[in-house]
């Protein structure tokens, strides 16, 4: 009896393994070559009546080797592109690709239907294929597919009719149709594939409005594209959204363009997953090796970000003797025979990071990267995707504007510049006035930091669209200012306050910037509608400015920086005793907000947390936030702004 049970167990394991995926790899040479030593399937032309179009329509149907009417089969609906018809897939030799896979026992027996996805009476591919009526017919095909073709196939052929045994995939325009129709009808399709999806692909939010439902119903969602395909953005935006929402899928990027080389390989790999037990753990193994960073200059493939957040750098510099990447840690690059230097880093934390190339020891920018003012100079930067980054992405919502405002400062005796964000609708709502947030950058940065590295405009746009923030004006000025008529104090001891000892920015802000903004823009000018916040140095400047001007500010925020609390200092004695009467302060100030990243340098973390604890002991009401897993970096500050902006101007 025990032997019998052991035999049954082994048999079950073998059968179960046979029903799951072996490792699926890029198609090998000869995968689409006709083999005389194997059995072959058959392709026929079928005609069905379409009530949707009001005519008879044609499709091709592939039946697998050994097809039997006594057996029921799953079905794959395979769609063509905008310039093709039901015969276009024949250029990709799908019957040969599938026959060869059957012979190697890599796919399940299935029927493949190749319809004409242009649902109109004259569905020929000739003439102007981009004609609006023809393009519209691709959308109409959804009804034709669901109401006419599928019922015909299920009546005419021995097929399994449940959603778990029905798949849809396509190339280019057909890839967009597959995503639109498949994800829009998850009660009909459990397997969906898009090879180089075209611009007809709906926006991700429309494709997957309910990510949790998609997670439950999808067996497989496959998205593939050539790395040099001009339409890759449509695949990438879908992938990015699915990644953020945690919807399992395969995103496979391979060398190639918008052609059958890519589409044949897509069919070769996708078909091997169909109608088997799916292990989503293998998805990450198949997903693209690397993706060009969003901070690259458009068209440049490097730097590339790997799925585990390692970064691949590649630079052509044949005459250089030594090349390194300085990304907090220095990485030595290796040169190949073509003069290209390359290195792969350790995993990099999510969010934005400055970096430099060290050419024979001299720091410079990467010619493939956009540049950002940080580190006290122009530097390269890379933004590692964060699963929670949806809140600072550009979305299809009303957008504000960031305007550059030049003004002359009588204090500094120089022209200065501020960047000013005006909320959506500012120019049309000419009778409306707005509260103002003064938002400051950190050391080594300038007024471009928040709108560029910090993506504050997208953060505010999205919060306002979701009605989580009050529409507001945001002013971002350069936090460095010196009065040339005043002597420089050189006796300040080293420490975090030294850089601000001769900095008259608080004076410039209060005496010049605020009046200029109130005169130039439609602002609410009372203190109850004015806030100030900043990161790091800007956080210290915020407390330095607001605590001595509480007649002008009601909302105060410090991100990774607030106030210098020296050991043994009584917080109640700071800023001329502004916190000595907690009740009075709490009535006057509507919000004090303090934040810090949990992975920040120890001195910064303990300093900010100690300040929070001191305020607590003094009875000063405030909000304290710790950003999980982030250091002294833009990801901490993006999260902080998201919270702070949602809390201010609520009365």
Cis preceding linkage at 303, omega within 30: yes
SS3 category, 189: coil
Contact between residue 348 and residue 325 where contact means Cβ atoms under 8 Å apart: no
Give the whole-angstrom CA distance, residue 118 versus residue 136: 8
- Alpha-carbon separation of residue 481 from 155, 484, 503 (angstroms): 79, 10, 5
Tokens of 386: 């964060």
Q: What is the mean pLDDT of residues 465-480?
A: 97
- What radius of gyration do the chain's Cα atoms show? 31
Residue in 384, 412, 360 with CA at minimum distance from that of residue 634: 384
Q: What pLDDT shows up at residue 498? A: 47
Give the whole-angstrom CA distance, residue 45 versus residue 622: 73
pLDDT above 70 covers what percent of the chain?
94
Q: What pLDDT shows up at residue 502? A: 79
**Residue 20 binned pLDDT confidence (cut-offs 50, 70, 90):** very low
Residue in 229, 184, 220 with CA at minimum distance from that of residue 202: 184
**Residue 13 binned pLDDT confidence (cut-offs 50, 70, 90):** very low
Q: Give the distance, in angstroms, between the CA of residue 441 and the centroid of all CA atoms in the same chain.
A: 24
With a cut of 70, say whether residue 601 has pLDDT above it: yes
CA angle 63, 65, 68 (to 5 degrees): 70
Q: What pLDDT shows up at residue 491? A: 62
- Measured in degrees and rounded to the nearest 5, phi and psi for residue 248 equal -60, 135
Average predicted confidence (pLDDT) for the chain: 91
* pLDDT, greater one: 450 or 11: 450
Q: What pLDDT shows up at residue 287? A: 61
What pLDDT, in 10s, does the model give residues 287-344?
655 778 999 999 898 999 887 788 999 999 999 999 999 998 999 999 888 889 999 9
Strand bridging mode 351-359 / 362-364: antiparallel
Per-residue 3-state assignment (H helix, E strand, C coil) for 379-411: EEEEEECCCCHHHHCCCCCCCCEEEEEEEEECC
**Residue 240 binned pLDDT confidence (cut-offs 50, 70, 90):** confident
- Measured in degrees and rounded to the nearest 5, phi and psi for residue 178 equal -60, -45
Q: What pLDDT shows up at residue 12? A: 36
Give the whole-angstrom CA distance, residue 460 versus residue 456: 6
The burial of 320, by beta-carbon neighbours within 10 Å (0-12 exposed, 13-18 middle, 19 or more buried), is given as middle
With a cut of 60, say whether residue 189 has pLDDT above it: yes
Q: What pLDDT shows up at residue 386? A: 83
Four-residue CA torsion sign, 539, 543, 544, 549: positive
Give the whole-angstrom CA distance, residue 224 versus residue 244: 18
What pLDDT, in 10s, does the model give residues 349-395?
889 999 999 998 899 999 999 999 998 999 999 999 887 888 998 98
Q: CB neighbours (10 Å) of residue 601?
A: 12
Residue in 642, 646, 514 with CA at minimum distance from that of residue 591: 646
Q: Give the distance, in angstroms, between the CA of residue 386 and the centroid of all CA atoms in the same chain.
A: 7
**Residue 23 binned pLDDT confidence (cut-offs 50, 70, 90):** confident
Q: What pLDDT shows up at residue 501? A: 59
Contact between residue 331 and residue 357 where contact means Cβ atoms under 8 Å apart: no
Q: What pLDDT shows up at residue 286? A: 67
The DSSP result for 515-564, as a single string, is HHHHHHS-B--SGGGEEEEEETHHHHHHHHHHTT-TTT-SEEEEES----
Q: CB neighbours (10 Å) of residue 105?
A: 9
Most confidently modeled range among 24-28, 290-294, 461-465: 461-465
Tokens of 505: 């920015």
Secondary structure letter of residue 590 according to DSSP: S
What domains can be seen in the chain, in order of their start residue? 30-288 (3.40.50.1820), 308-384 (2.60.40.10), 399-647 (3.40.50.1820)
Q: To the nearest 10°, report the CA torsion of 452, 235, 166, 65.
A: -150
* pLDDT, greater one: 399 or 13: 399
With a cut of 80, say whether residue 133 has pLDDT above it: yes
**Residue 11 binned pLDDT confidence (cut-offs 50, 70, 90):** very low
With a cut of 90, say whether residue 126 has pLDDT above it: no
With a cut of 60, say whether residue 589 has pLDDT above it: yes
Four-residue CA torsion sign, 517, 518, 520, 524: positive
Q: What pLDDT shows up at residue 508? A: 97
Q: What pLDDT shows up at residue 195? A: 97
What pLDDT, in 10s, does the model give residues 486-513?
887 666 555 444 445 579 999 999 999 9
Q: What pLDDT shows up at residue 299? A: 87
Q: What pLDDT shows up at residue 320? A: 92
With a cut of 70, say whether residue 441 has pLDDT above it: yes
Largest CA distance in the chain: 100
Q: Name 431's Cβ contacts closer than 8 Å, sequence gap at least 6.
A: none
Residue 18 belongs to what H/E stretch? helix 2-19
Q: What pLDDT shows up at residue 634? A: 96
Instruction: Indicate the pTM of the whole model.
Output: 0.64
Classify each residue of 549-574 as buried b or exposed e, where b means 16 or more C-beta atoms within 10 Å of its C-beta: beebbbbbbbbbbbbbbeeeeebbeb
Q: What pLDDT shows up at residue 14? A: 36
Q: What pLDDT shows up at residue 490? A: 63
Q: What is the mean pLDDT of residues 202-218?
A: 96
Give the whole-angstrom CA distance, residue 371 versus residue 285: 32
Residue in 59, 249, 263 with CA at minimum distance from that of residue 157: 59
Q: What pLDDT shows up at residue 129? A: 86
With a cut of 60, say whether residue 17 has pLDDT above it: no
Q: What pLDDT shows up at residue 341? A: 93
What pLDDT, in 10s, does the model give residues 531-588?
999 999 999 999 999 999 999 999 999 999 887 777 777 888 899 899 999 999 999 9
pLDDT above 90 covers what percent of the chain?
79
Classify each residue of 404-433 as buried b or exposed e, where b means 16 or more C-beta atoms within 10 Å of its C-beta: ebeeebebbeeebebbbbbbbebeeeeeee
């Amino acid at each position: 009896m025990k032997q019998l049970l052991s035999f049954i167990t082994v048999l079950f394991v073998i059968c179960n393994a046979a029903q799951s995926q072996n490792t699926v790899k890029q198609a090998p040479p000869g995968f689409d070559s006709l083999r005389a030593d194997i059995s072959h399937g058959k392709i026929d032309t079928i005609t069905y009546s379409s009530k949707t179009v009001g005519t008879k329509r044609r499709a091709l149907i592939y039946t697998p080797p050994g097809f039997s009417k006594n057996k029921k089969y799953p079905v794959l609906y395979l769609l063509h592109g905008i310039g093709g018809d039901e015969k276009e897939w024949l250029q990709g030799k799908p019957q040969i690709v599938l026959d060869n896979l059957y012979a190697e026992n890599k796919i399940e027996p299935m029927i493949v239907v190749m319809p004409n996805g242009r649902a109109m009476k004259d569905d020929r591919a000739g003439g102007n294929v981009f004609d609006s009526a023809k393009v519209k017919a691709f959308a109409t095909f959804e009804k034709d597919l669901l109401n006419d073709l599928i019922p015909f196939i299920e009546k005419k052929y021995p097929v399994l009719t449940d959603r778990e045994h029905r798949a849809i995939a396509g190339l280019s325009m057909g890839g967009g149709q597959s995503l639109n129709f498949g994800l829009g009808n998850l009660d009909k399709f459990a397997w969906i594939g898009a090879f180089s999806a075209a611009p007809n692909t709906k926006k991700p939010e429309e494709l997957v409005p309910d990510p949790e439902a998609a997670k439950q119903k999808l067996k497989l969602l496959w998205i593939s594209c050539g790395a040099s395909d001009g339409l890759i953005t449509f695949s990438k935006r879908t992938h990015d959204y699915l990644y953020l929402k945690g919807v399992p899928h395969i995103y496979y990027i391979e060398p190639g363009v918008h052609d059958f080389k890519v589409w044949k390989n897509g069919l070769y790999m996708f078909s091997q997953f169909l109608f088997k037990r799916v292990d989503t753990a293998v998805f990450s193994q198949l997903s693209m090796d690397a993706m060009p960073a969003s901070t690259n200059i458009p068209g440049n493939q490097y730097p590339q970000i790997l799925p585990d957040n390692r970064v691949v750098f590649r630079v052509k510099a044949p005459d250089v003797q030594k090349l390194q990447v300085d990304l907090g840690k220095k990485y030595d690059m290796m040169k190949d025979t073509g003069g290209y230097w390359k290195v792969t880093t350790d995993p990099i934390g999510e969010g934005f990071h400055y970096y430099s190339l060290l050419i024979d020891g001299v720091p410079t920018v990467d010619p493939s990267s956009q540049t950002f003012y940080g580190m006290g100079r122009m530097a390269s930067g890379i933004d590692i995707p964060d699963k929670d980054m949806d809140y600072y992405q550009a979305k299809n919502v009303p957008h504000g504007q960031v305007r550059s405002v030049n003004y002359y400062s009588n204090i500094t005796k120089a022209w200065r510049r501020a960047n000013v964000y005006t909320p959506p609708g500012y120019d049309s709502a000419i009778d409306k006035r707005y509260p103002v947030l003064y938002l400051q950058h950190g050391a080594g940065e300038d007024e471009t930091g928040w709108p560029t590295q910090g993506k504050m405009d997208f953060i505010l746009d999205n919060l306002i669209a979701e009605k989580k923030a009050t529409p507001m004006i945001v002013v971002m000025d350069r936090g460095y200012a010196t009065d040339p008529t005043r002597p420089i104090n050189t006796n300040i001891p080293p420490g975090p306050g030294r850089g601000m000892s001769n900095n008259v920015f608080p004076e410039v802000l209060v005496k010049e910037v605020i009046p200029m903004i109130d005169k130039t823009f439609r602002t609410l000018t009372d203190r109850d509608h004015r806030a100030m916040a900043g990161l790091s140095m800007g956080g210290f400047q915020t407390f330095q400015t607001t605590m001595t001007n509480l007649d002008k500010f009601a909302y105060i925020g410090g991100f990774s920086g607030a106030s210098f609390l020296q050991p043994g200092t009584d917080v109640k004695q700071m800023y001329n005793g502004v916190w000595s009467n907690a009740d009075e302060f709490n009535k006057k100030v509507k919000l004090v907000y303090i934040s810090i990243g949990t992975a920040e340098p120890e001195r910064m973390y303990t300093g900010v947390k100690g300040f929070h604890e001191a305020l607590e002991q003094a009875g000063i009401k405030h909000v304290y936030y710790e950003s999980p897993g982030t250091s002294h970096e833009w990801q901490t500050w993006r999260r902080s702004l998201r919270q702070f902006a949602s809390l201010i101007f609520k009365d």
